[in-house]
Structure 1
Amino acid sequence: MSENPINILMVDDREENLLALEQLLEGPEYNLIKATSGPEALARLLEYDFALVLLDVQMPEMDGFEVAELMRLKARTKQVPIIFVTAINKDQRYVFKGYQAGAVDYLFKPIDPVILESKVRIFASLYRQRKQLEKEIERRETAEWELRREQNLFHQGPVVVFKWLAIENWPVEYVSPNISQFGYRAEELVSGEKTWLEIIHSDDRDRVISETGVLSESNRNFFEQDYRILQADGREKWVYVFTLVVRSDLGQITHYDGYILDITERKRTEKALEESEERYRTVTEFASDFVYWRTADGWMRYVSPSCLDITGYDPEAFYSNPHLIDELVHIEDRDLWGACIRDAETGVCHSPVEFRIMTKDREVRWVSHTSRPLRGEDGRLLGIRAGDHDITRLKTVEEQLRRLNSIDGLTQVANRRYFDDELDKEWRRSVRRRTFISMIMIDIDFFKAYNDTYGHQQGDEALRRVAAELAKTAKRPRELVARYGGEEFAAILLETDLESSAKLAEKIRANVEALRIEHTASQPLPVLTISLGVAAMLPKLGDESASLISRADKALYLAKERGRNQVVTLPGA
């Protein structure tokens, strides 16, 4: 990869001289910049970083000596080498004046191309070496600064760095100054006034010695330990110790390097949690609710035995698979479950949330879920305590009541209010899933004449028979038949396009006609018939369900206009 061209400033009040210099030096390694006067040269020097200045001595207004003297006055330009180019005098006193002004060399006209090129090449090489040296100095200064920063981080931070020898009592060879957080001076440990083994709590000392010996001899390169130490004032502190085992070329352990971190607060929190957990277990073992304790990293710390009664899984299943609790949630309720988890972690909401779960036997059950976050003294999230209460029986009763409130008393199909609610709900679902939703509007032909001829009691019986036939024909789970008002009925067909909906509508029409309900006032057949309007839509965000109703109603109007006892379809927008 070629180096970037270096800048060379050529200063001469005569263009032909500048052109001659340019022709002699032209090449990819130089960026030649010209100036025709002293002031212009000084301006260029402030604009660019130059490796060399070729400066004509004899110029009007400001000669080369003046330019050189001004260059030496500015920090930015005083180190730039100057070669004077002149044709007027080789006298030693004249040359000396140039050197006094700051020149490093002279070129006398007429210029010898070989001498010019060699001198320029030398100064270009020196420039590149200087730049490389400056970069190296900068790199080293940066590295030294980073090293000092890291040292300050260790010395002033919570982590104590150590090195102790693998001999009796573990004398300390180095410990960082921040050992002072435990009341000790680094000097008293390094001098041998105190050994690390003396600092370890007497109740933990034998264990630590034994663990260190076993772990070191097992050819491990590092190990971790938690134990207590005594501060200089006699108080005990829990520390986490990460230790590197250092061996000689012969494989013998010579010393240990590592770091120590105060974990007293963490240990205090863990102890409080253990005591709390024991109380928690005592209460929940006798509760019928499914109660659990989930840690911040998602694992189960405790699961009550009643989980078996509610989910079909025993506690061990939840311990071995921490995601089982999430997998149990009914697929349609998982967005709600996700929001519930987020709220529990932030403590925003403690209110019970109701959703469905799938048991091990694939049975759907309803639960009322409560949860709250557990936090340490420092505010850190430790986990979530939660409980699920089985409300399946309550939901069954609620559903029965809802059905009673949703059924038309005369025809025993869905009433108008239930129909409107279901249409609104399924419309939103179709928008989310990008699926078709269809509607059939149904009207009994000449029904007023039927009532006038046979009486209202017989008219009610006719409504019941027609409704029963509609419900029997449109009986799939994704089909809903409702009494829309008077002698009008409506059906919602989910995930069904216009063609399939039209086929079902024709089947309904034929089945009602086949009932052969006498209607002498009907034309042209003397039996009760129906007219049907069908519409289907693939709704998108912003569409309203009213547009589907309007299209189905328009199709029904056309069916009646065209002679009744027929099906008319109207595509969606």
Structure 2
Amino acid sequence: MVAQSDINRAGTILIVDDKPENLRVLSRMLTERGYKVKKAIDGESSLIAAKFNPPDLILLDIKMPDMDGYEVCRQLKADPKTKGIPIIFISALDEIFNKVEAFKIGGIDYITKPFQEEEVIARIESQMVIQEQKRLLEIKHQKLRYEIKHRKEAEAILYQSRALILSVLNSSLDGIAGMEAVRDTKTGKIIDFRCLVVNPAIARIFNREPEYLRGKLVFKRFLHKLKSNLFDAFVEVVETGKLLEQDFYYESPHSRSWYHFVAVKLGDGFAVTVRDITDRKLMELELQRLATLDGLTGVANRRSFDTAIAREWHRCFQEKKPLSLILCDVDYFKKYNDFYGHQMGDDCLIKVAQVLTKAVKRPTDVVARYGGEEFAIILPNTNAEGAIAISEWIRQKMRQLSIPHKTSTVGNSVTLSLGIAGQVPDSETRPTDLIAEADKALYEAKKRGRDRHVIRAVSREK
């Protein structure tokens, strides 16, 4: 087992402060307790020292000339070589927003000047114990043959450091909990998990006080609300030592949030860290949504069309429902662009897309820009009559919209040619057959004089 004194003697600490007297006091205090100490009097030299020979921990002052402690922390966390070094801020700034900013940019603790020697040592030892615990857990996963030995060391460190890390747990923005397996006395199988350690951040997810959760069997019931097989995944963490990492969505009466958690085996249980990733997830979902849309018209893009036609084909095949496809093209659009200019051409396409969007009513209907001035409408559970009705509605609205088109030989306003194909999907045909028939129908509509629709049935001949 690794003793705490061994951890301290092995630790290297970088002290960053522009006041020589602070450096002397902290250096003496730490050296007497067996730590190796490095010193830096400004932000730039501290960055060089940390990158050249990374310490185990950094004590960082905030108010320094040229580069303050906040900026030093940001640069350290942005560098892969130094981002894992724990940083404890030591500052005379005692306002809450100073502390919040320190934790937000990556600090793991905050000590206010003037400091007490016992407090500084206790907080440092807490972090050194935590760092050693992480190292031991990593070794455990890399060397399974030492699993039992490392598990005992991790358990010993966990219980020895509980009092020391209490302040860290209470101030952490991430939810942290330690869970103990509850086993069936006859079979030995895990039937639930009991909360041993739970901090305020994770208690807020349950909308409970930490004291209410400690010692309770609430975990299995909570997991079944999220995902039915998630409990078994945590059991596997305990039984195999395999790390578990996932995102999950949780809706409570008070909030709707996304979280990311990491669970690692710890004794006959596990430790889990939970982080609120709602802002990041909303951004990802928005980016995913934008990635499926055409940048000009706002309807689905070609990639999204390909995905949707395959999805709806499969669904209609399973349900034996008709699937219709309309391909439509702006008549003489090249002439329109040449005469009115590309800006007016873009405006024309946007207005056409708006008409097509208004023509469909159901969530499963899809309007997409198929390419250039060509659009597509996917109509699940829609027969030929329904597709024709939508096509005629579109032509009527285009006449009402009356976008001037002086170079068209069809009329004085912008018109559309529409090709319709539909069938009940079967094992003899594919989505590409439906697209091909709609394309042939569109070509036929143009050949017959444009500003009209033509419908074709999908051929099953091989």
TM-score of the two chains, using structure 2 as the length reference: 0.49
Q: Which has the higher contact order (CA 8 A, sep 6+)?
A: 2
- What TM-score do the two structures reach when normalised by structure 1? 0.41
